[in-house]
Copies of this chain bind each other. A is one copy, B any other.
Amino acid sequence: MDRRADRGIAAPLPRDIRKTAIDPDYWYPLARSRDIPRGGKKGVSFAGEPIVLARTETGHIFALEDRCAHRQVPLSLGEVRGERLLCGYHCWAYNTAGACINVPYLDKDKSLPNGVKSYPCVEAYGLVFVYPGDVNAAGIERFPHIPTWGDPAYKTRYLDRRIDCHYSFMHENLMDMNHQFLHRSLMGSINPTALDIREGDGWVEVDYTFHRARGKQPIGEKFMLGRRSKAPNAKSEAREDKDIMTIRTGYPYQTLQFWTAGSSEPALDLWNAYVPIDAEQRKNHTFGLMMVRKPGVPGAIHLLWPFIIAFTNGIFGQDEDIVEAEQRAFDAQGEDRNNEIFPIIQKLRHLLVTQGRPIPGVE
């Protein structure tokens, strides 16, 4: 008998998951809108490609390769003037499409030099999205649809942090709710139960319910999700009698929704993107929208918000520490050696590998 199968360990993946590049043919958030005011610019990165995001003085946002065609210095060290981005070194000027439109000291008989690569760039949900892949395939139909954002019944917290690990660790971390043990100091002892697993083309999702085995519900969680009884209807068979959390990776994004028992609208609706920073994709910038349903009392959300922020910061800090420890273990071992026994994570890993691509230069 196959001992691996006996233990519930899945067949090997077609590629090392940590040596898998994210598919660039999607829209990725690279900055928050507020970080790029009119006349502003910011240097960011997608999988090792330096990109400058800039906004003209009339408000048009655009994304270019962040390297002057002349001497390769970052254009993000330059300056927006009017509708142009000027390199800060010798004042070569680019338009929003990346064409070089002026070199102040160019001989009159010479043509202008080549410009730089431009990227499709769209602003939505308070984020600036770029399409780093094949520009001919940059269909706006692939743009993420986040209907809860902008719903006045919700208040949104932005997640915006660099985390030194491959994006796949982020997906696995959130989707495997058995990691509640990691948060025992903040959340007490909570037992998750996986109720249902579903999958389709480019997505997997799982439903959980929970009951509190030990400890008190923390105040930040209570303000965010409402007071939860110790074992809400744990013995009930009816789904509508339970708290339900659904976590979905709809490639390349990830969402989490939490419904308290019997409610028709989620108390919490989370949308995340984990954007590779470096060429080896061992670091990511996590952008997220954490939409919290406001309580019935008008304005009460503002009183509760600091507690929600503090609670979620604590949780994110613990998650960040552990996924970075996973990355260090991978770096030391040179290959993924996880032994995954949890079915939804096995499916998730297969999804991330098959949707991704090889990383150039990584065997």
Contacts and interface: CB of A to CB of B under 8 A. Distances in A.
A326 B71 contact: yes
Interface stretch (A143-151, A176-184, A266-274): A176-184
Interface residue tally on A, bucketed by range: 35 or more
Contact of A111 (B6, B111, B330): B6
A72 B330 contact: yes
A73 B176 contact: no
Contacts of A342: 105
A37 B337 CA distance: 31
Contact of A329 (B73, B106, B111, B325): B73
A113 interface: yes
A326 to B, nearest CB: 6
Contacts of A48: 332
A89 interface: yes
Given A90-B181, A178-B90, A110 B341 contact: yes
A113 B322 contact: no
A139 to B, nearest CB: 30
Nearest to A329: B72
Given A112-B7, A113-B7, A339-B113, A105 B178 contact: yes
A104 B72 contact: no
A110 B178 contact: no
Contacts of A339: 69-70, 113-114
Contact of A8 (B88, B107, B114, B340): B107
A153 to B, nearest CB: 34
A188 interface: no
Interface in A90-134: 90-91, 103-107, 110-114
B325 A110 contact: no
A69 to B, nearest CB: 6
Contacts of A356: none
A194 B325 CA distance: 51
Contacts of A107: 8
A179 B103 CA distance: 12
A322 B88 contact: yes
Contact of A89 (B103, B111, B182, B191): B182
A192 B104 CA distance: 10
Interface of A: 3, 6-9, 48, 50, 67, 69-74, 77, 86, 88-91, 103-107, 110-114, 176, 178-179, 181-182, 191-192, 194, 321-322, 325-326, 329-330, 332-333, 337-342
9 contacts: A72-B338, A73-B322, A77-B321, A88-B182, A89-B182, A90-B176, A90-B179, A103-B341, A105-B178
